């Protein structure tokens, strides 16, 4: 049953908060999309939006001000009053650190990337990130009081407790309470997820996964991970570690993996595993990204190694398709630049190994957000997790400038 605008005051308030929360997650959007997202009727949404516009909480929005990967022009676009809330994203990579700041209409106000030394530890990472957040807030002239929170991503398992698990990519972070340390440092609420989960959220919000009911983002890089988004929400599982597809065991007599199991997908198909294989056969040391670049440049051995990796990944993806029947699989991470050299064998393996109906339902495509997926996903995480920007009375906004 759906409440109408004439419902009880508590129902009206609940619907109003659902509309605000939907706008926070959708950014520049249409009344029709808000109705779809909330399950409220279009007339209820129109009534609530009109009231929010009168309060200055919702403003008309030029569609050209849209966030990356924007797609089509929505009819009569609306958004939350942009400056009333800010979301901060932090992406810790193996050799980089990135920080971005966005407003409630999903407009990116600041974005800064910094190179980091190999194997930097948690203390160094958090110090640098806190400094970059302060710089970004200063550069944007932003009010700290308006910050809804900070989303952070890192390449390693992150448990729901906020503790970082053992990571081969950032070994100096294992066992740290990274979110708590950052929160103490900045005096802001902080949410932490693994990088593949954030890539999934970003592609679902702004990239190749928009509008899907069930999608999986595959991060194919030094390691292999996945993020699962169902009905617009990140699926974390019981402890937050859902999506560890890289540790699907393909051969129980295979090499011992860093996770302790044998013959995991990662030991065959990660960029690190392929680089190890080719370094031995070519007699020269190759880094994980060298193989992909050489494949792009036409090297036959590197192309063959990536095609084999695509087939191995396809075997694990076929099982995933049988289990959750996704509408779209989105391939990101540094190996994605190999394009169809990797994707064609992957698609073929899924076609052969998944049950026909699951294979027919799924579309396997490249991500649209590239190396920025994790950083943008950290911002999306805040917009999802922070709760509606206005849960109390309307803010004192200057409606004269609310049409910017």
Applying CB under 5 A, the residues found at the interface with Zn ion are 247, 257, 259, 261, 264
CB of 252 to Zn ion, least distance (A): 12
CB of 386 to Zn ion, least distance (A): 34
CB of 165 to Zn ion, least distance (A): 12
Nearer Cβ to Zn ion, position 13 or 255?
255
Nearer Cβ to Zn ion, position 225 or 332?
225
Nearer Cβ to Zn ion, position 257 or 376?
257
Nearer Cβ to Zn ion, position 244 or 374?
244
Nearer Cβ to Zn ion, position 34 or 264?
264
Nearer Cβ to Zn ion, position 247 or 384?
247
Q: What gap in Å lies between CA 347 and CA 131, rounded to an integer?
A: 43
| CA nearest neighbour of 152 among 116, 103, 186, 107 | 186
Q: What gap in Å lies between CA 286 and CA 282, rounded to an integer?
A: 9
CB of 325 to Zn ion, least distance (A): 25
109 HSE (CA, 13 A, CB side)? 24
CB of 251 to Zn ion, least distance (A): 12
| CA nearest neighbour of 350 among 375, 372, 323, 388 | 323
| Euclidean distance between the first and the last CA atom of the chain, given in angstroms as a whole number | 37
Q: E strands, 231-292, where?
A: 233-235
Residue pair 350/314 in contact by the 8 Å Cβ criterion: yes
Q: 19-47 burial, b if ≥16 CB within 10 A, otherwise e?
A: bbbbbbbbbbbbbebbbbbbebeeebbbb
CB of 181 to Zn ion, least distance (A): 28
CB of 239 to Zn ion, least distance (A): 17
Residue pair 207/368 in contact by the 8 Å Cβ criterion: yes
233: phi then psi, degrees, rounded to nearest 5: -120, 140
Q: 327-337 burial, b if ≥16 CB within 10 A, otherwise e?
A: ebbbbbbbbbb
CB of 21 to Zn ion, least distance (A): 37
Alpha helices in 39-186 (DSSP H): 42-55, 122-139, 178-186
Nearer Cβ to Zn ion, position 126 or 257?
257
Nearer Cβ to Zn ion, position 316 or 380?
316
Element (H, E) at 228: strand 224-230
């Amino acid at each position: 049953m759906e409440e109408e605008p004439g419902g009880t005051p508590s129902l009206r308030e609940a619907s109003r908060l659902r509309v605000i929360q939907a706008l926070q997650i959708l950014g520049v959007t249409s009344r029709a999309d808000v109705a779809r997202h909330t399950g409220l009727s279009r007339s209820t949404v129109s009534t609530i939006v009109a009231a929010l516009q009168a309060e200055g909480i919702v403003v008309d929005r030029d569609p050209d001000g849209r966030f990356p990967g924007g797609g089509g022009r929505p009819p009569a676009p609306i958004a939350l009053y942009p400056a009333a809330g800010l979301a901060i994203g932090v992406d810790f990579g193996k050799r980089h650190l990135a920080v971005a700041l966005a407003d409630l209409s999903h407009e990116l106000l600041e974005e800064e990337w910094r190179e980091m030394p190999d194997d930097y530890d948690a203390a160094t990472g958090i110090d640098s990130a806190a400094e970059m957040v302060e710089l970004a807030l200063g550069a944007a002239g932003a009010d700290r009081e308006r910050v809804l929170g900070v989303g952070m991503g890192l390449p390693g398992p992150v448990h729901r407790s906020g503790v970082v698990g053992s990571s081969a990519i950032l070994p100096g972070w294992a066992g740290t309470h990274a979110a708590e340390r950052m929160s103490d440092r900045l005096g802001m609420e902080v949410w932490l997820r693994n990088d593949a989960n954030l890539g999934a959220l970003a592609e679902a919000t702004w990239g190749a996964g928009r509008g899907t009911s069930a999608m999986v983002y595959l991060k194919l890089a030094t390691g292999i991970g996945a993020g699962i988004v169902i009905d617009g929400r990140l699926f974390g599982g019981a402890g937050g570690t859902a999506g560890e597809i890289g540790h699907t065991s393909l051969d129980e007599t295979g090499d011992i993996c860093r996770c302790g199991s044998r013959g995991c997908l990662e030991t065959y198909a990660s960029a690190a595993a392929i680089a190890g294989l080719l370094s031995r056969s070519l007699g020269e040391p190759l880094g994980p990204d060298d193989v992909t670049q050489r494949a792009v440049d036409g090297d036959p051995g590197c192309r063959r190694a990536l095609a084999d990796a695509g087939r191995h990944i396809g075997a694990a993806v076929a099982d995933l398709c049988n289990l959750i029947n996704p509408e779209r699989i989105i391939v990101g991470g540094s190996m994605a630049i190999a394009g169809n050299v990797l994707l064609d064998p992957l698609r073929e393996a899924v076609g052969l190994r998944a049950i026909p109906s699951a294979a027919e339902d799924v579309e396997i495509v490249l991500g649209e957000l590239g190396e920025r997926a994790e950083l943008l996903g950290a911002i999306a995480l805040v917009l999802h997790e922070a709760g509606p920007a206005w849960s109390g009375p309307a803010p004192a906004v200057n409606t004269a400038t609310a049409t910017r």
